[in-house]
Structures are given as C-alpha cells and as structure tokens.
C-alpha cells in the first residue's frame, strides 16, 4: 500500500527538506540546529497583503533575533522573482528584507507541508510553522489569503513557548496582558492528592496564588 504523506503535527519533528532560497541552498531543520525558526508561506510575490507582511516581519526581526529565532519565507515563485520583489520593497518601502525566502517553484515543499490553498491554483495559504531549537514543531497557524497575519501574535507565541519550556508553566489568554492575571503565569494542575495539599500550603504561605487548588498562578519572579 502506498504511504500517505501528511504535513507534520505539533510535537513532531519537522521533516528534513533541502530548499533553494535567496540566500543559497539550505537544509531544514539541520541548518538551524540550536535555533528556533518561523517558517511562513505567502501566496505570491508582488502582492499587496504579502508585501505588508514582509515589511512587518522585517520590522520585528530584531525581537525575533533576541529570542534566538530565525525567520524564513516561502512561496511558489522562483528565486529571481523573490530577489526582484525584495529589491522593490527596499526601494519603495525603505526596508531591506534580511531573512531568506524559499523559492518553492515546483511546489514540493508547499505540498509536503499542506500549504496549497484549495481552489486557488498553486497559491499557498498564509501558513506559519514555529519550530524549536531541537527541530520540533511547536505551533502551526493557518490564515486564508484574504487575511494578513498579526506578526505580534507570532512573536508572542514564540515568547510564550519559550517561557513554558524554561519555567514549566502555561500562559493565560492574551498573555502577558491578561485582563485578570496580567503577566502572571499558570502553574499546571496538581496530579496527585499530595501535590494538591502541598500547593494549597504554598498558597497559604503566600508563595503562589490560587483561585482553587487546580487553578494556581504566580509571577515569574517567584520560585
């Protein structure tokens, strides 16, 4: 029976891919070992919404850099098209795109990652794969062609994932600007009666705060 290929899911290894980019041939995720990366596809070069997205990504690149996170674009266009487009962006919008863009002119990468937009020809959806420094897919976001992405949300997601990894916590809705918890983080629920009692004791001592034993939170400054 023929094996059915599917795109990777959250928690799985990002598939090994050799790709052509505006900065030469790269192998994913191997060339980014020890770094996080955000791989995002756009429908086509020289299109208005995609242009605004690339400018927005470039404007936030230093913040991604601080998180040890690289940016990689992708569309089903050839390298010369990418190069001409980023030249246009620099000349007309004043921003130099410094991250690589994959030229998936045969559509093989887009098909492998489930990026092709049904009933839209060979255009890709606005897909986002967030991959950690071990090559594991940590988040996947998909947007239709008509909706430009919120780059701050992608940046926030990387920050939240790294915070969760470092401190063993979860982040609430709209973190770090939750209307109730502000920038506080959520402690995973207790997994035993003993742990529940220990957690309630910590709350009595003021070490953490709890709405109930299963819903406790703390500041990242607290141990």
Q: Which residues are catalytic, by number?
A: 50
Give how far Cα 201 sits from Cα of 42, 104, 181, 191, 204, Å.
Answer: 51, 56, 21, 16, 5
Q: Is 205 exposed, middle or buried (0-12, 13-18, 19+ CB in 10 A)?
A: exposed
CB 147 within 8 Å of CB 126: yes
CA distance 107 to 189: 44
Give how far Cα 186 sits from Cα of 163, 167, 170, 179, Å.
Answer: 11, 10, 5, 14
Bridge partners of residue 74, in order along the sequence: 41, 102
| Neighbouring residues of 167: CB distance < 8 A, sequence distance ≥ 6 | 185, 220
* The two three-digit tokens of residue 188, written as one number: 């995973």
CA distance 106 to 47: 20
CB 127 within 8 Å of CB 114: yes
């Amino acid at each position: 029976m023929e094996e059915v290929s599917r795109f990777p899911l959250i928690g799985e290894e990002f598939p090994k891919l050799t790709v052509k980019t505006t900065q030469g041939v790269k192998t994913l995720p191997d060339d980014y070992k020890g770094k996080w990366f955000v791989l995002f596809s756009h429908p086509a070069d020289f299109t208005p919404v995609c242009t605004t997205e690339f400018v927005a990504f470039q404007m936030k690149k230093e913040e991604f850099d601080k998180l040890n996170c690289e940016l990689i674009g992708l569309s089903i266009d050839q390298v010369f098209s990418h190069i001409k487009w980023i030249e246009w962006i620099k000349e007309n919008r004043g921003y130099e795109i410094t991250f690589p863009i994959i030229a998936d002119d045969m559509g093989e990468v887009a098909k492998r990652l489930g990026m092709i937009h049904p009933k839209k020809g060979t255009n890709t959806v606005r897909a986002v794969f967030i991959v950690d420094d071990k090559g594991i897919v940590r988040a996947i976001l998909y947007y239709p062609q008509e909706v430009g992405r919120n780059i701050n949300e992608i940046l926030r997601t990387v920050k939240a994932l790294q915070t969760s990894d470092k401190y063993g916590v979860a982040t609430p809705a709209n973190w770090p600007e939750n209307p109730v918890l502000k920038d506080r983080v959520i402690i995973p629920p207790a997994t035993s009666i003993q742990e529940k009692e220990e957690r309630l004791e910590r709350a009595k001592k003021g070490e953490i705060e709890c709405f109930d034993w299963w819903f406790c939170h703390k500041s990242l400054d607290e141990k």
